[in-house]
Chain A
Amino acid sequence: MIPAEDWLDATTKSLLEVANTYFDLSTMEAGSGAADAPKCGAMIGLASEDNTVQLMLISTRLGSESLGRALLGFDSDEAIETGDLADAIGEIVNIVAGMVKTAVHDQDDALNLTLPTFFEGTVEPLAGQVVLETMLKIGPVETRVVVSSGVRRVTRKPRSSAA
């Protein structure tokens, strides 16, 4: 099984490369919002027989809007609708996941990607998974990069049929 540290390292490096390629970091606004502001971001899964991992990019709504505008090439004062925001943040994690898949290919060549999911609110990892996270500043925007990894094996007891 690929260690959680490797997933986090590959995810962080890929995210920075995406930001440096597509974002005009000089025109981005922080947009962090209050520390207790609701969280907003996107997650994507990579799975094979040997590995299951969820990659998450989390910021505040305002921080995510700043990232979305940067990807779409919008001006810093331009409004971004929720649909466009979901699409943009989802695409960021989709690109990152593709890069991560390529980066760990030598350790697992059977990984498949899920489609990305945008969320607002709190996302809790599944019980039994290894969760690692790091804070990452993309331009002026503070984000959390979270990986939750581990194969979750559930064995159900056979049910007895009713007589």
Chain B
Amino acid sequence: MKILIVDDSKAMRMIVKRTLRQAGYGDHEFAEAVDGSNGYEQVCDWKPDLVLSDWNMPNMSGLEFLQKLKADRNNVRFGFITSEGTAEMRQVAQENGAMFLISKPFTADTVKETLRKALP
């Protein structure tokens, strides 16, 4: 499976990758993007199976990124990994087609359980 990690923080992209390995996804392919705009380009070019995106990012937020994909009728599996996890944000994420929202700080167990439920 090809997994695209989108976050403006290099540190967080490293943590997400490390956590995915700890959660048993180490043998999957990873690519990274630095914001929603870069993520959108990568989805078009690299065609990932799953996008894990931050919400608050410069240039194009995670929500705008998701909305752009949906406007293109691109149904790539999409989940948020973000520092904010209010009920409203979870609702907005779901209404816009996100499969899940993992709030930071997250553990390997949280990621494993969330992906187990979300992925076939």
The 8 A CB mask of A75-109 against B (1 = contact, 0 = none) is: 00000000010011011001101110110010001
Measured CA separation A105–B90 after assembly (Å) = 14
Chain B residue contacts of A98, Cβ below 8 A? 82-85, 103-104
- The verdict on A90 contacting B58 (CB below 8 Å), with A22-B105, A95-B83 known, is no
- The verdict on A87 contacting B105 (CB below 8 Å), with A71-B15, A113-B56 known, is no
Contact of B11 among A88, A102, A113 (CB under 8 A): A88
Measured CA separation A22–B108 after assembly (Å) = 11
- Asked if A21 is at the interface (CB within 8 A of a chain B CB), the reply is yes
Q: Please classify the interface of chain A as helix (H, G, I), strand (E, B), loop, or mixed, using the class held by over half of its residues.
A: helix
- Asked if A136 is at the interface (CB within 8 A of a chain B CB), the reply is no
- Asked if B70 is at the interface (CB within 8 A of a chain A CB), the reply is no
Question: Chain A contact residues (Cβ within 8 angstroms of B): what range?
Answer: 20 to 34
- Asked if A6 is at the interface (CB within 8 A of a chain B CB), the reply is no
- Asked if B10 is at the interface (CB within 8 A of a chain A CB), the reply is yes
Q: Which 9 A-B pairs have the closest CB atoms?
A: A98-B83, A21-B105, A98-B84, A88-B11, A91-B9, A95-B104, A91-B11, A95-B83, A87-B11
Q: Are A21 and B83 within 8 A (Cβ)?
A: no
- Asked if A10 is at the interface (CB within 8 A of a chain B CB), the reply is no
Number of chain B residues close to chain A: CB under 8 A:
20
- Asked if B50 is at the interface (CB within 8 A of a chain A CB), the reply is no
- Asked if A73 is at the interface (CB within 8 A of a chain B CB), the reply is yes
The 8 A CB mask of A60-74 against B (1 = contact, 0 = none) is: 000000001001110
**Interfacial residues of chain B within 70-115, with CB under 8 A of chain A in the complex:** 82-86, 88, 103-107
Q: Are A21 and B14 within 8 A (Cβ)?
A: no
Chain A residue contacts of B14, Cβ below 8 A? 72-73
Most buried by B among A18, A90, A98: A98
A and B contact pairs by CB, cutoff 8 A, 7 listed: A71-B15, A94-B9, A98-B84, A102-B84, A109-B86, A113-B56, A115-B56
Measured CA separation A88–B7 after assembly (Å) = 13
Measured CA separation A138–B106 after assembly (Å) = 19
